[in-house]
Structure 1
Amino acid sequence: MTDLLQPAALAIAILADAALGEPAWLYRRVAHPVQLIGTVIAWADRRFNRESDTGGKRRQAGLAVCLCVTLGAFLSGWAIQALLLGLPDGPLWLGLLMSALIAQKSLYLHVADVAKAMELSGAEGGRIAVARIVGRDPEVLDAAGISRAAIESLAENFSDGIVAPIFWGLALGLPGMLAYKAVNTMDSMIGHKTPRHLDFGRAAARFDDLVNLPASRLSALLLILGSIAQRGAHAVAAWRAVRRDAHRHKSPNAGWPEAAMAGALGFAIAGPRRYHGVRVTDPWMNDGGRWQLNAADIRAALSLYWRACVVLGLIVLAIAAL
């Protein structure tokens, strides 16, 4: 029975998130699930990532933390799901909780803020807005660089923030969603190639690559399907860009949605950029596309993003109906 109720709860979650997003009034009163996971990870980082240890010991400690946090999130999700499904209207309550682990509306709003800031204040306003969603150096970005950064973030986070938690929710229910969020949060907090986290965060970074692999491919397909319904977008060009460029990205996963979105809209994104003063020379996604982008191009990417979200929602609704 639980397996049959999970798609129904996920359908509720998708609709609730699309309508409500992340209500500020709620999260002023209660902690967001990801915030709680982050608190545990921060404690583990302080407690077990000892600078006096050798690299080998720090890798072992990081692996143990990764496994324990992931398992803890999975077991917590299993217990909460069993409790909620035992209540009247259980799928409704489960779906509302699952909606907190999907970021459709919040991602849209954050990226739309960049377009709005550029439309109102030009590149200066765009730099302030884009700095909230990307890690690259905003002060060196012109209008085209700001636009590309926002579109890249939209494409990558479509996979990480929407498709992946829904995929694992369909596969494993709330336990799968919470475990995925634990891995993804660990990667964002400790999966960096810095002196402190190069060894300790290695397991988290590798595990995050693994659990995002199916969703990244699926997200590219969803963007291709979404482009069929968007005027000016080209599904065949998106498919070609994915086949040609996705594997060239430094990430084993980010290139798939980025190449699909770039190809569908005729853009070239990724490419050379700067992080913390260091120039990173990466290949272009949809090399040969237009790279001098602007706020209108961000709006076009947002339109394609919503269409891909609708396709994903329809798939989950169809599974729930079956």
Structure 2
Amino acid sequence: MIEIQGTVILAAFILDFILGDPKILPHPIVYMGNAIGFFEGWFRKHFKHLLISGVVFAGVLIFSTWLIAFITIKLSISIHPVFGTFVQVILLFFCFSSTSLEKAAMIVFSALEENDIKKAREKVSMIVGRQTETLDEKAITRASVETVAENFVDGFLSPLFFAMIGGVPLALAYKMVNTLDSMVGYKNNTYLLFGRASARIDDVANFIPARISVLIIALAAFFLSFKRGVLAIKMGFSQGSLHKSPNAGYPEAAFAGALKIRLGGPNVYHGTLVAKPYIGKEFKDPEKGKIRQACDLMIFSSFLATLISCFLLFVF
């Protein structure tokens, strides 16, 4: 195992905060997506039972990602320890996506500020899985806040968690897990069996980080307002399980409490109406300004998680 250093985590966070997702750099997640698309057909062809095919497919890609990252870092350390640290910083930086998510959500906010509903629908469709053609301003706002909350876990806390327990290679393996889920983890005719393993592995991987996220979000909300911090932790654990996803509801419920807004509710996914329960139903639907507040809460939560991680590494 390659142990992680606090300086690597802090430097990766700072890079993400400053650079976000620079388009000029080759991104490992793009290569992961390309690998998934390339090998899917091969595994479907050579394993006739789709469930078994999907299990082997996910296992091979996840392990291969870890192995490539492990070898890359080991080789870089053998060249020079400083170079090895630099490589780890860059690779972990690619695992974080807080700033790029903030930028994407704020583009939706700007479109709503301009009263351009068509543009807002188009931009929010790039960061959510639901159908957006008929969404009004409040539904667009709700979708934006929900994806900011959920992706605090997927895009920052989970890769940080796995970096803490298994180094940068495990963080990258997690990103492959998450990418597999986003590409093949659907409950439709094409992926119901083949993508089941990918979806379940993602559920297991995010189980602990999703629940830790409630504590981090509540702590961040505490600095904004004591009552908001209390509401975040109460709603996070009391209403987080209402979500159809075993994990997404926890950060969403914590955000709902921290921002005093209603999230969730029925939405159309891939042509099918999904009757999701409301979270924070005692509150009103969010106004568009809540997108900005949600982004601030997400970034501050990422910062606090980074500080806590560095502290724990220093102590232990």
Q: Give me the TM-score of the superposition, normalised by structure 1.
A: 0.92
Q: Deviations over 1:239-285 (max 9, x none)?
A: 22122211111000000000000011111101111123322111111
Letter in 2 for 1:298: I
Determine which of 299, 305, 311 is the counterpart of 2:298. Answer: 305
Alpha-carbon distance between aligned partners in 1 of 2:164 and 2:46, rounded to the nearest angstrom: 40
Alpha carbons of 1:233 and 1:49: their partners in 2 closer, same or farther (altered >3 Å)? farther
Alignment correspondent of 2:41: 46
Alignment correspondent of 2:28: 33
Aligned residue for 1:14, secondary structure, equals helix
Asked if the contact 2:2–2:70 (Cα under 8 Å) also holds between the matched residues in 1, the reply is no
Determine which of 202, 206, 210 is the counterpart of 1:208. Answer: 202
Determine which of 110, 130, 134 is the counterpart of 2:128. Answer: 134
**1:121 to partner: Cα distance:** 3.1
Asked if the contact 2:47–2:53 (Cα under 8 Å) also holds between the matched residues in 1, the reply is no
Q: Deviations over 1:28-77 (max 9, x none)?
A: xx3x1111111111122122225994xxx110011011111111111111
**1:104 to partner: Cα distance:** 1.4
**1:117 to partner: Cα distance:** 1.0
**1:11 to partner: Cα distance:** 1.8
Alignment correspondent of 1:316: 309
2:52 matches 1:64: no
State which drifts further: 130-139 or 150-159: 130-139
**1:174 to partner: Cα distance:** 1.5
Alpha-carbon distance between aligned partners in 2 of 1:112 and 1:148, rounded to the nearest angstrom: 13
State which drifts further: 81-90 or 234-243: 81-90
Alpha-carbon distance between aligned partners in 2 of 1:47 and 1:84, rounded to the nearest angstrom: 32
Aligned residue for 1:274, secondary structure, equals strand
State which drifts further: 312-321 or 91-100: 312-321
Letter in 2 for 1:310: F
Alignment correspondent of 1:116: 110
Aligned residue for 2:70, secondary structure, equals helix
Alpha-carbon distance between aligned partners in 1 of 2:189 and 2:23, rounded to the nearest angstrom: 36
Q: Deviations over 1:107-158 (max 9, x none)?
A: 1101111111110134222112101111211111100000000000000111
Alignment correspondent of 1:185: 179
Mapping for residues 100-111 of structure 1, pairs under 5 Å: 100-111=94-105
Alpha-carbon distance between aligned partners in 2 of 1:111 and 1:309, rounded to the nearest angstrom: 16
Asked if the contact 2:13–2:93 (Cα under 8 Å) also holds between the matched residues in 1, the reply is yes
Alpha-carbon distance between aligned partners in 2 of 1:232 and 1:304, rounded to the nearest angstrom: 14
Aligned residue for 1:279, secondary structure, equals strand
Total equivalences in the alignment: 313
Mapping for residues 164-313 of structure 1, pairs under 5 Å: 164-231=158-225, 234-291=228-285, 293-313=286-306
Letter in 1 for 2:258: A
Mapping for residues 71-110 of structure 1, pairs under 5 Å: 71-86=63-78, 87-89=80-82, 90-110=84-104
Alpha-carbon distance between aligned partners in 1 of 2:274 and 2:148, rounded to the nearest angstrom: 20
Alpha carbons of 1:47 and 1:2: their partners in 2 closer, same or farther (altered >3 Å)? closer
Q: Give me the TM-score of the superposition, normalised by structure 2.
A: 0.94
Asked if the contact 1:163–1:215 (Cα under 8 Å) also holds between the matched residues in 2, the reply is yes
